[in-house]
Structure 1
Amino acid sequence: MRIRPIAALSVAALSAVLLAGCAGGANPNATPTPSTSGAAADLCAAAAPSGAATESITVEGEVGEKSTATFEAPLEVEELQSTVVSEGEGDPVAAGDLVTYALTAFSAETGEELGSFGYDDAPVLPQQISGDNPLGQLLGCATPGTRVVAAFPATEQGAAEVYVVDLLEVVPNAAWGEPVEPTEGLPTVELAEDGAPTVTLPEGDAPTEFEKATLKEGDGPVVAAGDGVLVQYHGVSWDTGEVFDESWGGAPFSFTAGSGVVQGFTDAVVGETVGSQVVAVLPPAVAYGEGEINDADLKGQTLVFVVDILGVQPAETPAQ
Structure 2
Amino acid sequence: MRIRIAAALSAVAATALLLSGCAGAGSPSASPTPSASSSCLLNAKPGKASDAVKVDGEGKDLKVTVPADADVDSATTPQRTVLKKGDGKDVKSGDLVSVQYRIVAAADSSVLDSSSRGVDDQLPVLLDPQQQSLFVAALECQPLGTSVVLALPGKVLGEGQKAIVVYAQSTKKLPTAATGTAAAPVDGMPTVKLAKDGAPEITIPKTDPPTETKISLLKTGDGPTVASGDYVIVQYRGVTWADGKEFDSSWKRGAPAQFQTTGVVTGFKKALEGQKVGSQVLAVIPPADGYGAQAQGSIPANSTLVFVVDILGTVPAAPAQ
- Please tell me the TM-score bracket, short chain as reference: 0.7 to 0.9
SS of structure 1 residue aligned to 2:263: coil
Deviation at 1:48, TM superposition (A): 0.7
Residues 251-282 of structure 1, C-alpha deviation per residue, up to 9 Å, x if partnerless?
4333332x332111111112210111011111
Residues 58-108 of structure 1, C-alpha deviation per residue, up to 9 Å, x if partnerless?
321226753222524352423211011122343332442112323323343
Partner of 2:2: 7
SS of structure 2 residue aligned to 1:149: strand
| Mapping for residues 190-209 of structure 1, pairs under 5 Å | 190-209=193-212
Matched, 1:150 2:150: yes
How many Å separate the matches in 2 of 1:294 and 1:96?
27
Deviation at 1:136, TM superposition (A): 2.7
Partner of 1:97: 95
How many Å separate the matches in 1 of 2:4 and 2:128?
21
Matched, 1:187 2:184: no
| Mapping for residues 29-68 of structure 1, pairs under 5 Å | 29=27, 38=35, 40-43=37-40, 46-62=42-58, 66-68=62-64
Give the total of aligned pairs: 307
Q: Which piece of structure 1 moves more, 113-122 or 223-232?
A: 113-122
Partner of 1:3: none
Partner of 1:310: 312
Are the structure 2 counterparts of residues 23 and 154 from structure 1 closer, same or farther at C-alpha, using a change threshold of 3 Å?
closer
Partner of 1:227: 230
Deviation at 1:290, TM superposition (A): 5.1
Residues 181-233 of structure 1, C-alpha deviation per residue, up to 9 Å, x if partnerless?
21122111122222221101122222222211101111111122333322221
Partner of 1:218: 221
**TM-score using structure 2 length:** 0.80
- The alignment-based identity, stated in percent, is 37
Code of the aligned partner of 2:114: F
**TM-score using structure 1 length:** 0.80
Partner of 2:257: 253
How many Å separate the matches in 2 of 1:87 and 1:200?
47
Q: Which piece of structure 1 moves more, 111-120 or 212-221?
A: 111-120
How many Å separate the matches in 2 of 1:7 and 1:36?
18
SS of structure 1 residue aligned to 2:154: coil
Gap runs ≥5 in structure 1: 1-5
How many Å separate the matches in 1 of 2:193 and 2:315?
29
Code of the aligned partner of 1:267: K
SS of structure 2 residue aligned to 1:285: helix
Residues 132-188 of structure 1, C-alpha deviation per residue, up to 9 Å, x if partnerless?
944232222333332111111231322333222222332211211111121122111
Are the structure 2 counterparts of residues 247 and 170 from structure 1 closer, same or farther at C-alpha, using a change threshold of 3 Å?
same
How many Å separate the matches in 1 of 2:56 and 2:15?
24
Are the structure 2 counterparts of residues 190 and 74 from structure 1 closer, same or farther at C-alpha, using a change threshold of 3 Å?
same
How many Å separate the matches in 2 of 1:180 and 1:87?
41
Gap runs ≥5 in structure 2: 9-13
Are the structure 2 counterparts of residues 112 and 38 from structure 1 closer, same or farther at C-alpha, using a change threshold of 3 Å?
closer
How many Å separate the matches in 2 of 1:295 and 1:190?
26
Code of the aligned partner of 1:7: R
Q: Tell me the C-alpha RMSD between the 2 structures.
A: 3.7
1:73 equivalent among 52, 69, 77:
69
How many Å separate the matches in 1 of 2:311 and 2:279?
6
Are the structure 2 counterparts of residues 78 and 95 from structure 1 closer, same or farther at C-alpha, using a change threshold of 3 Å?
closer
Code of the aligned partner of 1:98: L
How many Å separate the matches in 2 of 1:252 and 1:165?
22
Deviation at 1:125, TM superposition (A): 5.1
How many Å separate the matches in 2 of 1:182 and 1:130?
37
Contact persistence 1:47–1:137 (CA under 8 A) = yes
Partner of 1:112: 109
How many Å separate the matches in 2 of 1:37 and 1:150?
21
